[in-house]
Structure 1
Amino acid sequence: MKRLYYLTDTLDSVERIAEALHKEGVSDWNFHVISKDQAGLYRRHIHSANFVQKSDVVRYAERGAMVGFLCSILGSVYVASEQPFGPDMSGMVYFAIFGFVTLFGVWVGGLMGMATENQKIAAYHGEIEAGKHLILIDAKAEEEERVRELMARTYPDAHLLRVGSTLINPFKFARPAV
């Protein structure tokens, strides 16, 4: 899926865009708004972005899993070469090392990501803090052009900032806005 990032100035505009997108078949699951005015979104029944979409928890957890996996390989090599538990060690010990260290990496990475703003949204932090509203629209590849045309034709005040993916690549860094 593609994620379209639009920026608009008013909640009235956000509400009109939400209604138009609902008529076009875009559900609340594919339409999210990041705004400083959370109470206004709630009063107007507009779907606000959730914690996972606002933070980098998934990307950092993926990175933590990779670091944990590499550390678990090193730990297993150490245990195999030094045999701290004796020569008659079960294979389950290696499995436990892999599982524990990898999951520990996921946990630590997730904690770091919880404290970090989503890298794709951080570029627009100043606009959001200034009172603007960031609209995230998730569209299938075949629906993307239709959504873009609707937005350009009907809501020229909503500016397309970027087109990205809903998938999270732990190695990819945010590119400047379109």
Structure 2
Amino acid sequence: MRRRIYWLLPDLASARRTMDDLLLARIAEPHIHFVAREDVDMSGLHAANVLQTSDVLRAAQLGLVIGGVVGTVAGLAVAIFFPIVGDSPQWGVAAVLAVLGGLFGAWAASMIGISAPSHRLERFQPAIEQGQILLMVDVPRSRVAEIEARLQALHPEAHLEGVEPNIPAFP
């Protein structure tokens, strides 16, 4: 189980030094994510991807649930009131429409969620717009205190912004 530690760094030079220190602490690069304004040159840093900076996963989950419910209701109505073969309800149609509704809902909602900024990063948006760089580092639960102490000792210019107890499985 990993925990996500948030740090705000004042500039690119500090971010690059922090990246090097995390690599020396044996934190793998895929677990280090930086977020900055769009006009900032992030070369040499592992920039956060769309899964970490948008609400695509949250939106897809919500769309799956809503689409599945709507698909189930529509499927039940079709199965009971409009049977395809004979006069008995066609329960298979209800199941198919429930699955298709869930898939369509997840797809449609993810298209909306990909353009929405992550609700987890909203509190950092003003600092990012001012030119600071957000560091998100995912570390094993047993190393959180060690990594926090290391970064505080090596980077007094950085600000610890907290630890997220449950990071998403995919981003």
RMSD: 1.8
Uncovered stretches (5+) of structure 1, i.e. residues with no partner: 169-178
* Equivalent pair of 2:61/2:106 in contact (CA under 8 Å): yes
Aligned to 1:175: none
Aligned to 1:9: 10
* Equivalent pair of 1:37/1:131 in contact (CA under 8 Å): no
Offset of residue 134 of structure 1 = 0.4
Amino acid of the structure 2 residue aligned with 1:60 = A
Matches within 5 A, 1:55-70: 55-70=54-69
- d(CA) in 2 for partners of 1:50, 1:130: 21
Aligned to 2:168: 167
Amino acid of the structure 2 residue aligned with 1:69 = G
Q: Which runs of 4+ in 1 moved over 3 A?
A: 88-92
Amino acid of the structure 2 residue aligned with 1:112 = I
Identity rate, percent: 23
Equivalent residues, number: 166
Aligned to 2:155: 155
Offset of residue 68 of structure 1 = 1.1
Offset of residue 28 of structure 1 = 1.1
Aligned to 1:129: 129
Aligned to 1:96: 96
Aligned to 1:80: 79
| Residues 40-72 of structure 1: CA deviation (Å, up to 9, x unaligned) | 211xx1100111111000000001011111112
Aligned to 1:172: none
Offset of residue 163 of structure 1 = 1.2
* Equivalent pair of 1:62/1:106 in contact (CA under 8 Å): yes
- d(CA) in 2 for partners of 1:61, 1:96: 19
1:143 aligns with 2:143: yes
- d(CA) in 1 for partners of 2:134, 2:119: 14
* Equivalent pair of 2:54/2:113 in contact (CA under 8 Å): yes
Offset of residue 94 of structure 1 = 2.6
